[in-house]
Chain A
Amino acid sequence: MLRSIGKRVLQTLIVLFCVSLMIFVLLRIIPGDAITTMMGEHANADTIARLTKEMNLDKPFYVQFITYLKDICTGNFGTSYTLNKPVTELLAAAFPNTVKLAVMAAVIAWVIGMVCGIIAAVKKDGILDRLFMGFSLLGVSVPVFMVAMVLQYFIAYKLHWVDISGVKSWTGFILPAIALGWNSAGSIARLTRSTLVEVLQEDYIDTAKAKGLGRGGVIILHGLRNAMLPVITMMALQISSLLSGAVISETIFSINGIGRLAVDAISRRDIPLLQGTVLFTTVIVIVGNLIADCLYTVLDPRIRKGA
């Protein structure tokens, strides 16, 4: 087991290296000159010279890349020149908000998704099954911004149940979290249903029933436990889509999170800030997937003993 986890960690390190290389290259091959693109027509020669030196653009490519790698390994993402603060500080301020939003969205999505999926599987082809699966398709087809705006319009503007935007207390996170979790809930419900339906046809389910185990016991102890593995994999993959969606949810509800920082960085053409936000988010996704893979190895004896 340790060997397969070790192999997975090694693979992750390679991917991390390639990801940082890719972001580095993408943000520096801008047609024309990175500095002029960043500064626009307002740049004077002094600023250009200073920034070129600050971003090491006067050195050869490999020297630039090594310095950049060294910096990010020590947690130094450079200085945002439009906000005049270290990128690390800005990330640290925005990160808790994004985490709160994403965790709340995930909890809402996964609880609702799994409960609907289980009910739909148990009552296969019944009214509830059709209703929930209809809703789940709506879940995967409606863009995040549409859910966000509909919620904002009806719940916040018409009914005044919560604030329209900005987060003064945790209640401010409810609407953004629902908007964000909506898509994930749909796909979790569909996957839980389809795997559980398959598992419930297995022989060991009949054995459990024959032993006299109650209906709930069969579904939870034998059915759900075996149907969970693909669902956990999908949850890990959703970390990535939740962080993508957070960009939109944060923009609409004016939450000071990482996604909004990235959008601001693009509109202000702030390369260090953009580089920092994208790199940081991607590292979270990669580490999240690594943890899920290790969990998977621990949970499933077939993987543990196999390759």
Chain B
Amino acid sequence: MKKREHLENTAEQEALAAQLGESDTFIDKMKRMAADNKLAVFSAFVILFFLLLAVCAPLLTPYSFEDQDLLSRLSAPSAKHLLGTDELGRDVLTRLLYGARVSLAVGIIPTIASMVIGVLLGMISGYVGGIVDAVIMRLADVVLSFPSLLLAMVIMYTLGDGITSIFIALAITSWAGVARVIRSETLTLRETEYVEAARSMGVKDFTIILRHVFPNCIPSLIVLFTLDVPSAILSESALSFLGIGVQLPNSSWGLMVNMGRTYLYNAPWLSLVPSAAIMLVVLAFNFLGDGLRDVLDPHLKNS
């Protein structure tokens, strides 16, 4: 974007925009990604597959996630229990499917919340500037200077266990990164000719932010979203793994790994299956995020 300020000639600007692929519509860009980056498309299908599994969990399994069958505890994978059973004889596949609901919800909901907070604060910070900017950015510095897992642990301690607490803890720990990116985008956008034109015509600041600044931040937001979801999933699994996240009898992938750890030597599938599920989903989101970034927002590459 910076480069463009030096170009006075409109023809040159258009040439540069075409070169950067900025004149394409969103659908054109998606088509380009589909053609160039098969891995990203495949990843999108993997994510969709896991979402479907999570939504249809009750239809896909005859068991319930809390049904215990003490007689067949710790049984190896078989035709009756495709992925075996855990220490209380609960079906691992069933718990994995229900765990997908929690893990995906924890990936998506707090990330949306942190985006909303980050976008609001980032745009205000970048557009208003001055003391407001300084205060918001120092606040972001404070949040970013905590090791994120420890901050999440303290928030979980304060709010108590439970899924809502996890949502809040993860939203609080991850808005600051979004705010920083959006602030720097707003700073650039504020200096563009069309914002200047709007301002000189007397358009209100609120309208300018809503109609000219926000829509131009959307590509970065899509990329940030796909890259923040996996880190939220990893954070939840770390919290549940440490025993301060999702609590029994509910299921989450991190919790399943934690519970299976005691039986690592005689029933390794208990921990390894949910770990592999976490890895797959996180990998898929990362591949998709990388692919989207290449077509939507190449500037983000090194940040």
A residues contacting B by CB (< 8 A) are 11, 14-15, 18-19, 22-23, 26-27, 29-31, 137-138, 140-146, 149-150, 152-153, 157, 191, 194-195, 230, 240-241, 243-245, 247-248, 251-252, 262-263, 266-267, 269, 274, 277-278, 281-282, 285-286, 289
Contacts and interface: CB of A to CB of B under 8 A. Distances in A.
Contacts of B237: 143, 145
B244 to A, nearest CB: 6
Contacts of B286: 137, 140-141
A91 B26 CA distance: 53
A115 B153 CA distance: 35
A240 B148 contact: yes
Interface in B127-180: 138-139, 141-142, 145-151, 153-158, 160
Nearest to A252: B261
B123 interface: no
A81 B286 CA distance: 44
B210 interface: no
B301 interface: yes
B104 interface: no
Contacts of A14: 138
Question: Size class of B's contact patch?
Answer: 35 or more
A274 B230 contact: no
Contact of B147 (A30, A31, A145, A281): A281
Contacts of A289: 145
B287 interface: yes
Contacts of B147: 240-241, 243-244, 281-282, 285
A121 B242 CA distance: 38
A281 B264 contact: no
Nearest to B231: A140
A263 B282 contact: no
B142 A22 contact: yes
Contacts, number: 135
Contacts of B149: 244-245, 247-248
A195 B302 contact: yes
Contacts of B157: 26-27, 30, 266, 269, 274
B145 A15 contact: yes
B279 A142 contact: yes
5 contacts: A138-B279, A153-B264, A267-B244, A278-B150, A278-B151
A245 B150 CA distance: 10
Contacts of A18: 138-139, 142
A261 to B, nearest CB: 11
B279 A146 contact: yes
Nearest to B144: A240
Contacts of A143: 234, 237-238, 241, 275, 278-279, 282
Given A195-B302, A230-B302, A243-B150, A145 B238 contact: yes
Nearest to A16: B145
B150 A267 contact: no
Interface string B51-62: 000000000000
Contact of B153 (A191, A240, A245, A266): A266
A149 B146 contact: no
B243 interface: yes
